[in-house]
Structure 1
Amino acid sequence: MPSLTPMTNDVLLPVQEIQAISAVPKILETVAALTGLGFVAVAHVTPTSWTTCAVLDRLDFGLKAGDGLDVATTLCDEVRSCGESIVIDHVQESAQYRDHHTPRMYGFQSYFSIPILRPDGSYFGTLCGLDPKPMPLSSTASVAALELFAELISKQLETERAHAVTQTDLTSERETAELREQFIAVLGHDLRTPLGAVQSGVDLLRRNLPAAQAEGVLARMQRSLARMAGLVDDLVDFARGRMGSGIVLHLRQESCLEQALQQVIEELRQIHPDSPVVAELGQGIALYCDVGRLGQLLSNLVKNAIVHGVPGQPVRVAAASADGVFALSVHNHGDPLAPGVTQQLFKPFWRSPAASPSDGLGLGLYIVAEIARAHGGTMDVSWADGEVGFRFAMPATAAHGGQAG
């Protein structure tokens, strides 16, 4: 058992932050299955301390959450210093590490340590693991998967921080209770499906599949991890909106906004090849805006149209500036909205009764409305000639040109 250092108050909060993330135990189990290592942990690392925040220990290594090590004896300290991952398949065959004091002190032959950054870029710690047996860890596929898991933990740290601030600022006890239940449901249920898909992928990779087939499995795992990251991003935007500060904008003058909108449309066409998207974009659209957020607004509207529209029927996108107003609209074939639905569409966590669990959290249109509000714009919903239409409009005093043609 390694020599432990006592936990101090300054490292208590990071331990609590990781312990609050309900998906972390499943992530550690998945990483252990993917790598074959008997010890996997999330550690908080500073220049003066190394503290276990969460651990899966099948080696009886002797560490539990809150336990610390002398940071100078760890490779995680080197990861913190250089900002790069360390991955070792076999210490005895590594010219760099065969004589290193850390493997000798802790008795491992295979090891990895992946940096975990907070969303602001500051260093939190590492996702790390070790085993006394050599293990093939350094393949491109394995390292990519480990880095994706570290990134997911990073995003969930921000979610938990936003969640905590939201709960503090809410004045209604009932609203606080409802919000807590929604977050728990999302993190406990909506993340379970993509995590299950990743676990299935790990099971397949453990069967030593041919390289080409393994690449396909890894691609599916990456898509599942991307979905989890997307869920977390939506929750962060939701929390910011509910805290009263609203979605943060990075405004700048755009001279050809249609180019960014076209790129979003092309990405959606690749993701949804069976759902045609027809675009009519004005040329030379100039606007003072957050182009990234407007791209997110468009993406959410088109995804909503694809999910709820008539399969195979085109989704129509139009954008132009005229008479001092910039307008962006998305139309899809569909039935008229039921009475009362229009008032519910832009509320958080609202989903149509006909929606399936895979259709998302019910935050997409809420985030659309928040982006519109942050730009000083409005959202309108209409139905005519068998089509449902969403229209975003904002003042275009800084705009010129951009007439549809």
Structure 2
Amino acid sequence: MSDAFLALDEDWRITLVNASQERMSHKRRGETLGRVFWEVWPETKDPSTKTWTEYHRCMQERVPVRFVEHHASLDVWTEVRAYPCQVGGISVFFRDVSQQMRTEAELVDALRHVETTRRSAEFEQQLIGIVSHDLRNPLQAIRLSAAHGLKGVGQETRQRRSFERILSSSDRALRMINDLLDFTRVRLAGGIGVERGEPVDLHSLVTQVVDEVLFTRPERQVVVESVGEVQGRWDADRLAQVVQNLVGNALQHTTEDVPVRVRTWGEGEDAVLEVHNGGAPIAAQDMPRLFEPFQRGSGARPDGGRSMGLGLHITYHLVQAHGGGIRVRSSADEGTTFTVRLPRDG
């Protein structure tokens, strides 16, 4: 459709109107020709409107003008171009840009929503980090007090059991807080940093971590199998966290009578860690979001300990920070196996 058009003489009377202008304004030629523009559209007579100010500028200063204005009575946005005529008066062209303006408005709203969401998420992550950091100090004090009290009581006293429960609960709370801090590092810094020190023996590290896990869960079974010699330049503390998360996850998803199996071996330039558990396989609907934060598999045991769903998410980013990769396979026949592959030299 061609642009709408009308012409005004020096007295603001409408002298020409095309068919497009009739359709856009919903007014027939007979209703407009010969009449003063401001009488036909009285809402534009307000000096605060662009139509009033720009038409007068074009008429009086004899300069072309261009602007966009919303016509509330028609709910139409128009791009207006007005030009002075040599014989006096002005010629005005209109183009309906309503769809474009609505699309742009929707885009602006969408961008504003994205920015608001981003700022809100960033604030929440910073808040988690601050709160988590500030909670560690009192929990450390509780833990140290419980450990000191444990040394001063006998082997079979009620006080000993109370101190052990306090120590176990504070350790679990500290692990949860550390997970939250790592989560904020991933969100705000784009990943978790690692510090590579002296060469780490993967077999020894796995054995140590498994012993620590079983110390708090003596009723469980974890079978460790090591093949060959495997050393690499890794962040020992962070790698221990990977092992702890994977072993803890395996224990959480199997029953007490089924052992968890952990294997380590070297394969070329890489070291391989494998953690296997029996029991029900990972549900198909859980696989795509397995390493996303705050996810708990539909088959998780209610007494599994951790409940925040950050362990695998953090494990994924720790393995990535070491330049490695992690994959999982799961079936009813074979159980579930997480395999971590790490380059020995980082």
Query: For the superposition of Structure 1 and Structure 2, which TM-score range results when normalised by the shorter chain?
Result: 0.5 to 0.7
Unaligned runs of 5+ in 1: 1-170, 399-405
- Percent identical across equivalent pairs? 30
Q: Does 1:174 align with 2:117?
A: yes
Query: Would the aligned equivalents of 2:202 and 2:232 in 1 still touch at CA under 8 Å?
Result: yes
The 2-side partners of 1:255 and 1:371 are apart by 16
Q: Which amino acid aligns with 2:214?
A: R
Q: Does 1:228 align with 2:170?
A: no
Query: Would the aligned equivalents of 2:125 and 2:188 in 1 still touch at CA under 8 Å?
Result: no
Normalising by the residue count of structure 2, what TM-score does the alignment of the two structures yield?
0.54
Displacement after TM superposition at 1:223 (Å): 1.8
The 1-side partners of 2:158 and 2:239 are apart by 38
Q: Which amino acid aligns with 1:372?
A: V
What is the aligned counterpart of 2:344 among 390, 396, 399?
A: 396
Q: Does 1:325 align with 2:270?
A: yes
What is the aligned counterpart of 2:258 among 313, 316, 336?
A: 313
Q: Does 1:247 align with 2:192?
A: yes
The 2-side partners of 1:235 and 1:360 are apart by 12
Aligned position for 2:201:
256
Displacement after TM superposition at 1:177 (Å): 4.1
Query: Would the aligned equivalents of 2:328 and 2:338 in 1 still touch at CA under 8 Å?
Result: yes
Displacement after TM superposition at 1:224 (Å): 1.6
Normalising by the residue count of structure 1, what TM-score does the alignment of the two structures yield?
0.47
Q: Which amino acid aligns with 1:342?
A: M
The 1-side partners of 2:175 and 2:316 are apart by 18
Displacement after TM superposition at 1:330 (Å): 0.3
Q: Does 1:293 align with 2:238?
A: yes
Query: Would the aligned equivalents of 1:335 and 1:386 in 2 still touch at CA under 8 Å?
Result: no
Q: Deviations over 1:251-300 (max 9, x none)?
A: 02425331122101111122222221011123431211111111110100
What is the aligned counterpart of 2:311 among 364, 372, 391?
A: 364
Matches for 1:196-211 after TM superposition, within 5 Å: none
The 2-side partners of 1:287 and 1:176 are apart by 40
Query: Would the aligned equivalents of 2:125 and 2:184 in 1 still touch at CA under 8 Å?
Result: no
What is the aligned counterpart of 1:340 among 285, 288, 296?
A: 285
The 1-side partners of 2:293 and 2:126 are apart by 10
Secondary structure of the equivalent of 1:372? helix
Q: Does 1:379 align with 2:303?
A: no
The 1-side partners of 2:125 and 2:314 are apart by 20
Matches for 1:123-134 after TM superposition, within 5 Å: none
The 1-side partners of 2:177 and 2:200 are apart by 32
Query: Would the aligned equivalents of 1:251 and 1:289 in 2 still touch at CA under 8 Å?
Result: yes
The 1-side partners of 2:343 and 2:201 are apart by 17
The 2-side partners of 1:354 and 1:256 are apart by 34
Unaligned runs of 5+ in 2: 1-113
Matches for 1:1-400 after TM superposition, within 5 Å: 172-174=115-117, 177=120, 180=124, 212-254=157-199, 256-355=201-300, 356=302, 358-384=305-331, 385-397=333-345
CA gap 1:381/1:314 in 2 versus in 1, 3 angstroms: same
The 1-side partners of 2:115 and 2:337 are apart by 35
Query: Would the aligned equivalents of 2:202 and 2:264 in 1 still touch at CA under 8 Å?
Result: no
Q: Deviations over 1:8-66 (max 9, x none)?
A: xxxxxxxxxxxxxxxxxxxxxxxxxxxxxxxxxxxxxxxxxxxxxxxxxxxxxxxxxxx
Query: Would the aligned equivalents of 2:210 and 2:222 in 1 still touch at CA under 8 Å?
Result: yes
The 2-side partners of 1:174 and 1:334 are apart by 40
The 1-side partners of 2:263 and 2:291 are apart by 21
CA RMSD after TM alignment: 3.3
Q: Which amino acid aligns with 2:262?
A: V
Aligned position for 2:82:
none
Query: Would the aligned equivalents of 1:253 and 1:286 in 2 still touch at CA under 8 Å?
Result: no
Q: Deviations over 1:340-379 (max 9, x none)?
A: 3122111111112454485321100011001001001111
Displacement after TM superposition at 1:311 (Å): 3.0
Query: Would the aligned equivalents of 2:294 and 2:308 in 1 still touch at CA under 8 Å?
Result: yes
The 2-side partners of 1:249 and 1:369 are apart by 13
Using CA pairs below 8 Å that are at least 6 residues apart, which structure has the higher relative contact order?
Answer: 1
CA gap 1:364/1:323 in 2 versus in 1, 3 angstroms: same
Q: Deviations over 1:378-405 (max 9, x none)?
A: 110102433101011122357xxxxxxx
The 1-side partners of 2:319 and 2:202 are apart by 16
